[in-house]
Structure 1
Amino acid sequence: MARTMSPEEYLELGKIHYNQKQYERAVEAFTNGIEAATIPSIGLYDHRAASYAKLNDLKSAVKDGREMIKLDKMNVKGYLRTGSVLEKMNKLETAIGIYRYGMKHVSMENKSFKLLRRLHDEFTRKLSPAKAVDPFTVFPPELIEMVISYFTFKDIVNCHRVCKDWRTYLINNSKLWIDLDLSGARKDVSRIFVRNALYRSKYHIERATIHRFKHFDVLLSLATACRDVLTQLEFISGPVNVDRIVEVVQCAQNLKELIYRDNISLDAVAHIMHRGKSLERVEFTSIAASRSDAVWKGKFPKLDTLVLNGPTNGAPRALNTTSLTMQTPALRVLTLTNWSGGGNFSEPLDFSRLSLEKLTLTKYNFQVFPALPPTLTHLILEPAYGLYVPAGQNDNSSPWTRLCWRNILNSHLPALRHLSLSNFVALSPSFFSLLLETRTNDNKDPEVLDCYTLSTMTTLHHLSIRNSTFSADRHHGPFSTEGILGPLRILSPSLQCLTYASMMCSDDDVEELVHPLLNLEAIDLSNTNITGAGVKMLADGLPKLAQLNVDGCSRISSRDAIDYAEKKGIRVSWRMKQTGGGGRKVRYG
C-alpha cells in the first residue's frame, strides 16, 4: 500500500492511536513514518519505543532506544528511553553503562544532565549489597588499626580525603602521623601540610623522610618540638643548606639515624657529624668532589654504621680514613666508595683496632692490603686499580711487599661468612689459607695454628671473585683441593652462593667444583670459558641450584644446555655482549 502521508503526519497519527491505547496501530503508524523519512526523527523512534514497551516487546524498545543514541549522541532522550526499558528488563548494570556513556557525550549545561547522573547513581546504589556499610563504623577499633598499619603514609593521606568520617578518624589517631614520609611527593610539599602532620602527631614524630620540601624553618620547628622522640631523619632531595641542617641535627637531641641522599660536600658531612653526637647510623650516598680532605672533629662514641659514597665521576678523592676510624671506637659497619687515602706505603689502612663486622671498600684506591679485624663477618674489597698480592714475605723483598704480607698474616678472619674480592692481581693459595684458615704464631710460621682451629671457625656462605688473576705458579684448577680455593672453609657444603665471573674457568674446573658444593643455590660464571657441557654438569651435579648466570659465555653455542637446566627448575641468565660494527645486534637468552 502506497504511503500518502509525510513522516510528520504519521507521527501525529501514531500519537492519536497511542492515546487511544491502540498500541499495535500506533507501532504501525510510527513504522510507516520512519520508512517514509530520509532521516527519521528522534521523536518517531522515541514514540515507537514507548509503544513497544506497552506491548511488552522490550527488546524492540531497546533497539529503538539505541537507534536514537546513534542518531544524536548529544540528545539525552535516547539514553533516558533505553535506560528506562533496561530497568524494566532488570538489566541495571547495562543501564548504568548507558547512563555513563550518556554523561560522556551530553553537555553538563544540559538541564537533563543532572537527571542522567541521578539515575546512574541511583542504579549503582541498587546494585550495592543490601547491607553495605562503612567499615569504620562497624569494625572494632583494634581491627581498623591493624588494617591501617599496612598503609603507607601516602595511603593514609589519600584515605583521609575519602569522607568526613574517615578524615575525622585518621586525623585523631596520632600514631598514624609519627612517621612523616614525603618520599612519594610528586610536587613541592607545602609548609601547612607538614605543620598539620606535626599537630596531628601531637608533636611526637619519630621518623621523618624529607623530599620536595624547601621550608627549613618548619623543619627546624619540627626538630625542636620533637627533640626527645625524633630518632630517624632522611633527606632525599631539597636545597643544600648546611647550616640549617646542622641546626636541625642539634635540635633533635635523640637523633640516632641520619641519611642524606642529595649532593653534599665532604666538609659539610664532617660539620654535620661533629654536631650529631647521638648519631648511631650515618649515610651520605652522594658526596660531591672537593679539593681537600675534611677535618674530622670527634669523637663519635655511639657511631655504629657509617656509609660514605664519594663522587661517581672521575678518580677517587682524598679521604683521611685513618683519622676518621680513630674516632669511631664502636663502629661495626663501614662502607667507603670511590675514595683514596690511607692506603699507601706511608700510611696503610688499618682497621684491626676496630670491632667491625661488615667492611666494604669499593673503588677505593689502596696500594697495600689493609689490616683487618678478626670480628669481620662480611668483607667486600674492590680496589680502584689492580692490587698485587705477594705470594710470600720474600716476594721481591721490598718494604712494600713485607708490609703487605705482614697485614695478610695479621688479618685472620675466623668469623667470616661473606667474602667478595674484585680487581686483585696474583692471588695465591697461601693468601686464602692465611686469611681464612690459619692464625700464625709470634714466629710468623704459617704452618702453626694459634688460638683457632677449623672447628671453631664459621664457614663461608657467600664467595665472590671477579676480574682477578692468579699467581703464575698455579698448577691446579681453582676448585681442586690444592688450588686457589682449596681451603676447607671455602669449598664446603655450607657455601650457598658462588660468583666466579670474568675469570679463567673451563669445563674441567666446573667438574671439580660440583662434588664439594652440594648445597650451592646460586652461581655466577659469566664471561668465562665454560660450554654447554659445563652447564649440564652444574644442572646434574648441584641438586639445590636455583640460579645460574652464564652471560657472555661465548663458548655456549646453542640453547640446548640452557633449556636442559631450565627444565630442572633453574633460572638461567644467558645474554651475549653486543658488539660494534654495522651488522645486526643480536641478544640471546
Structure 2
Amino acid sequence: MPRTTSAEDYQELGKTYYKQKQYAKALSAFSNGLEAAKVPTVSLYDYRAACHEKLADFTAAVKDGREAIRLNKRDVRGYLRTASALQKLNRMDAALGIYKYGMKNVPASHQDYKFLQKMHDNLTRKLSPPKAIDPFTILPVELVELILAYLPFRNIVNTLRVSKGWKHYITGRPNLWRDIDLSEASRPVSRGFMNKAVNYAERDVTRVALHKFHHTDMIPRIATACRNLREVEILSSPGMLSETFVQVARGAVGLKKFVVKPDITLDTITQIMSQRPTLEHVEFHSVIGKQVHVEWQGPFRQLHTIALNSDASRTLIGGRLFEQTPNLQNLSLTGWKYGFNFGSDLHPYPYNTIPALLTILEIKRIDLPIFPPLPPTLKRFVLHPSKPLFLPSDSSVLVEITPSGQAPITTVPAWHYAHISHLPHLTHLTLCEMGNLNPYFLQILLDRYKDPKEGGDASHPTANNGGAPLQHIWLCGVLDPAVSAALFSPTGLFAASPRILTPALQSLRLPSLPCTDDDIEDLVTMKPSVVDSLQVADVSSTKISGASLKMLVDAVPQLQFIKADNCRMVSSRDAVTYVEGKGVGISCKMNDGIGAGGGKKVRYG
C-alpha cells in the first residue's frame, strides 16, 4: 500500500522551498498540507499567507490570515499576517483595526504581545497627521516642564497613562510632584500611590492636600520626611485621630499653612499652634466641642490669617489670642456663641487689643448685641450676624452689654464703636441682617470719626475720614421707617456717603431692600456716571421688573453678571433673554413654595 504524505510532511517541504525562495512551489506544498490535514492549523495558513505576500497576492494573504484568526483568536500570528497584507493593500485603517482586535484577544503575557503592540503603535504614529507630534521629543526640557507645571495634579497623574515614555519623563521630574493635590480624587487614594508620589518628588514635597486618603498613619511620616513641607490641607479625614493633627504640626518643621476642614476640637487647635508657633496661616472649618476656656500658648508673631468656624452652640472665652498675634491681617469668625464679655478675646474686643495690622475681618452667624469696633487698617469688612442687628435711629441711645445669663457689664452709646472707627482704607463693605438701616449710621461709619482719647461720644466734634471710595458694597436688611424709600435720591440710603456711589464701584448688592424701577433709573442716569466700572449687580428679592434688567444691561458697559432671584415683578423670560443676548450672565430664579414644606421653583435664567 503506497505511503500517504501527511500534512506535517507537506509543511516541512513547503518551508524548505520557502527558504530556497521558490515561493510558487512552497505555496503548492502548503496548500496540499491544508488538504491533507484533518484539522487545519494556524501554522499552515500563516505559511501559505506568507507565500501569497511574496507572490504579491495580498488579497489571498488577507484571506488566509483571517482563517488563522478564526482558528485561534489567542494566537498572534494571524493578526500580524493579516494586518501586514492589509497595509500592502493600502488599507491602513483596516490594518489598525486588526491590530486592536488582536490586542483585545491575545493575552498580554504572550511572548509576542509586545511586538503586536509595537506594530500597532508604529501604524498609529504613521496615520497621525503631521502636526500630531509628541511634544516631549521636540521641545526643550525646560519648556515641557513649564507647560506641565500649569496642569492640575489630577491631570499630571492622568498623563502617566499616555505612554511609557511620558511616564518615564514625568516621574523623573521632581518639581511636578512637589504639590500633591488630592482635592479632585474621585476614588480612595492608595498607600502605594502616595509612597510613589513622595518618592517622585525626592521627598521634597512643599504642599499636600489630602482627600479620600484613608491611610492616616502615613500623614505624620510624610510631614516628618518632607523637610520643606510648607502647606498641609486636610479636606477629609476618615478615621483620623486628634493626635494625628498634632503629630503633623510637630513633624513638619517648616509648616506655614495648616487648613483642616473635618471636625476638630479647640483643644487640638491650641496644641497644633503650640507645637508650631511659626505658622502663618490657619483655617479650622468645623470646630466641635463645648469649650469653656482656651489657653493660647503664644506668641504667634508670624501668624497673619486665622479662620475659626463653628456652629452657634460653641462658646470661646479667654486666652487673649489677639494679644499674641501682633501681625494678624485676616480674621474670619463664623458661627460662634459668645458671652459678650469685654475681657474675652474674640468679641467684643477691647479697643486696645484689636490687631493693629488687620485688613480683612469677616464675622458671620454670630449673635451681636452691638456694632463691633473696627481697626483703621481695615480694607474688607463683612458683618452677617445670626439674627438682625437693630441700629437705633439715634446715636445717643444707650445699649447694655450683657453676657448670657449674667448682669450687664457696661452701658455704651449704640453707635459708640462706629463713631470711633476710622476706616480710610475700607473698599469692601458687607452689612447683612441689619435692622433700621439709615443714612446717618453709614455716614458716621464711613465719614466721621471721634478720637477715643477724647471720649468718642456725641459731645465731641466729628472729623471727616477722607477715605477711599468703596469698590464693593452689600447692604441687606430693613430700612428705618423714617428713611426715604428712594435709595439713590439725595436723602436716600446710598447717598449717605460720598464714598459709596463713585466710578470706582465694581459690585453693588442690595437684596431685599425696597428697590424699584425708579431707583434703577436714578442709578444709571446719575451725572457724572457712577456705573462705568460696575461688574456685578444683585437686586434679588426687590420690586424691580424686567425693565430694570434691560436698563442695567444697556447702561452699564462693564456689567458681567446680574442676580435677580425672587423678583416677583419679573413676570416673563423676555428680559432674561434680552440680558443673555447682550452677553451678560444672569440668575433669575423664582421660589413659589409656600412654607417650609416645599413648593415650586421656576427658573427664568
TM bucket by the smaller chain? 0.7 to 0.9
The CA deviation at 1:94 is 2.9
1:245 counterpart = 2:237: no
Measure the CA separation in 1 of the matches of 2:68 and 2:564: 61
Measure the CA separation in 2 of the matches of 1:577 and 1:428: 29
1:490 counterpart = 2:489: no
Measure the CA separation in 2 of the matches of 1:488 and 1:235: 44
Measure the CA separation in 2 of the matches of 1:104 and 1:244: 46
CA contact (8 A) 2:380 2:426 kept: yes
CA contact (8 A) 1:387 1:424 kept: yes
SS of residue in 2 equivalent to 1:364: coil
Identify the range of structure 1 (163-172 vs 510-519) with the bigger mean alpha-carbon deviation.
163-172
Equivalence for 1:8? none
Q: Structure 2: which amino acid aligns with 1:145?
A: E
The CA deviation at 1:515 is 2.9
Equivalence for 1:333? 330
Equivalence for 2:308? 308
Measure the CA separation in 2 of the matches of 1:482 and 1:446: 25
Measure the CA separation in 2 of the matches of 1:109 and 1:458: 72
CA contact (8 A) 1:136 1:144 kept: yes
Equivalence for 1:543? 557
Q: Flag the structure with higher strand content.
A: 2
CA contact (8 A) 1:322 1:350 kept: no
Q: Structure 2: which amino acid aligns with 1:327?
A: Q
The CA deviation at 1:220 is 3.8
Equivalence for 1:361? 363
Measure the CA separation in 2 of the matches of 1:111 and 1:325: 70
Cα distance change, pair 502–62 in 1 and its aligned pair in 2 (3 A): farther
The CA deviation at 1:65 is 10
Measure the CA separation in 1 of the matches of 2:65 and 2:72: 10
CA contact (8 A) 1:176 1:201 kept: yes
The CA deviation at 1:291 is 5.1
Measure the CA separation in 2 of the matches of 1:433 and 1:471: 15
Equivalence for 2:94? 94
Cα distance change, pair 222–112 in 1 and its aligned pair in 2 (3 A): closer
Measure the CA separation in 2 of the matches of 1:578 and 1:101: 57
Cα distance change, pair 69–571 in 1 and its aligned pair in 2 (3 A): farther
Cα distance change, pair 164–62 in 1 and its aligned pair in 2 (3 A): closer
Measure the CA separation in 1 of the matches of 2:504 and 2:472: 9
Measure the CA separation in 1 of the matches of 2:208 and 2:395: 53
1:557 counterpart (568, 571, 580): 571
Q: State how 1:507-546 maps to structure 2 within 5 Å.
A: 507-516=517-526, 517-519=530-532, 520-546=534-560
TM-score normalised by length of structure 1: 0.77
The CA deviation at 1:349 is 1.1
CA contact (8 A) 1:578 1:587 kept: no
CA contact (8 A) 1:87 1:95 kept: yes
CA contact (8 A) 1:480 1:513 kept: no
Alpha-carbon deviations, 1:367-403, whole Å to 9, x = none?
Answer: 11111111110000010111111222333x4545734
Q: Structure 2: which amino acid aligns with 1:235?
A: I
Q: State how 1:234-383 maps to structure 2 within 5 Å.
A: 234-238=233-237, 239-290=239-290, 292-311=292-311, 315-320=312-317, 323-341=320-338, 343=340, 349-350=348-349, 352=351, 353-355=354-356, 356-383=358-385
Equivalence for 2:585? 571
Measure the CA separation in 1 of the matches of 2:131 and 2:317: 69
Q: Structure 1: which amino acid aligns with 2:501?
A: L
The CA deviation at 1:330 is 1.4
The CA deviation at 1:422 is 1.0
Measure the CA separation in 2 of the matches of 1:333 and 1:279: 14
The CA deviation at 1:158 is 5.4
The CA deviation at 1:424 is 1.1
Cα distance change, pair 480–92 in 1 and its aligned pair in 2 (3 A): same
CA contact (8 A) 2:396 2:413 kept: no
Measure the CA separation in 1 of the matches of 2:502 and 2:468: 11
Equivalence for 1:427? 437
Q: Structure 1: which amino acid aligns with 2:434?
A: F
**How well do the aligned residues superpose, as a CA RMSD in angstroms?**
4.6
Cα distance change, pair 165–481 in 1 and its aligned pair in 2 (3 A): same
2:421 counterpart (390, 403, 411): 411
Equivalence for 1:388? 390
The CA deviation at 1:334 is 0.2
CA contact (8 A) 2:255 2:276 kept: yes
The CA deviation at 1:344 is 6.4
CA contact (8 A) 1:322 1:342 kept: no
Measure the CA separation in 2 of the matches of 1:64 and 1:167: 39
The CA deviation at 1:296 is 2.7
SS of residue in 2 equivalent to 1:374: coil
Measure the CA separation in 1 of the matches of 2:159 and 2:545: 56
The CA deviation at 1:85 is 5.9
Equivalence for 1:474? 483
The CA deviation at 1:134 is 6.7
The CA deviation at 1:277 is 0.9
SS of residue in 2 equivalent to 1:501: coil
Measure the CA separation in 2 of the matches of 1:167 and 1:569: 42
Cα distance change, pair 310–62 in 1 and its aligned pair in 2 (3 A): farther
Cα distance change, pair 511–230 in 1 and its aligned pair in 2 (3 A): same
The CA deviation at 1:129 is 7.8
Cα distance change, pair 438–171 in 1 and its aligned pair in 2 (3 A): same
Q: Structure 1: which amino acid aligns with 2:449?
A: R
Identify the range of structure 1 (564-573 vs 420-429) with the bigger mean alpha-carbon deviation.
564-573
Identify the range of structure 1 (476-485 vs 83-92) with the bigger mean alpha-carbon deviation.
83-92
Measure the CA separation in 1 of the matches of 2:193 and 2:115: 39
Identify the range of structure 1 (569-578 vs 518-527) with the bigger mean alpha-carbon deviation.
569-578
Identity over the aligned pairs, expressed in percent? 37
Cα distance change, pair 343–530 in 1 and its aligned pair in 2 (3 A): farther
The CA deviation at 1:541 is 2.9
CA contact (8 A) 1:73 1:106 kept: no
Q: State how 1:6-45 maps to structure 2 within 5 Å.
A: none
Measure the CA separation in 2 of the matches of 1:100 and 1:385: 66
Length, aligned pairs only: 541
Measure the CA separation in 1 of the matches of 2:303 and 2:108: 63
SS of residue in 1 equivalent to 2:479: coil
Measure the CA separation in 1 of the matches of 2:489 and 2:160: 64
Measure the CA separation in 2 of the matches of 1:302 and 1:582: 49
TM-score normalised by length of structure 2: 0.75
The CA deviation at 1:214 is 2.7
SS of residue in 1 equivalent to 2:368: coil
Identify the range of structure 1 (403-412 vs 537-546) with the bigger mean alpha-carbon deviation.
537-546
Alpha-carbon deviations, 1:4-61, whole Å to 9, x = none?
Answer: xxxxxxxxxxxxxxx99xxxxxxxxxxxxxxxxxxxxxxxxx9xx99x9999999x98
Measure the CA separation in 2 of the matches of 1:152 and 1:139: 21
Cα distance change, pair 166–117 in 1 and its aligned pair in 2 (3 A): closer
SS of residue in 2 equivalent to 1:436: helix
Equivalence for 2:143? 143
Q: Structure 2: which amino acid aligns with 1:233?
A: V
Measure the CA separation in 1 of the matches of 2:420 and 2:570: 43
Q: Structure 2: which amino acid aligns with 1:187?
A: P
Q: Which runs of 5+ in 2 are unaligned?
A: 1-23, 26-45, 402-410
Measure the CA separation in 1 of the matches of 2:256 and 2:106: 60
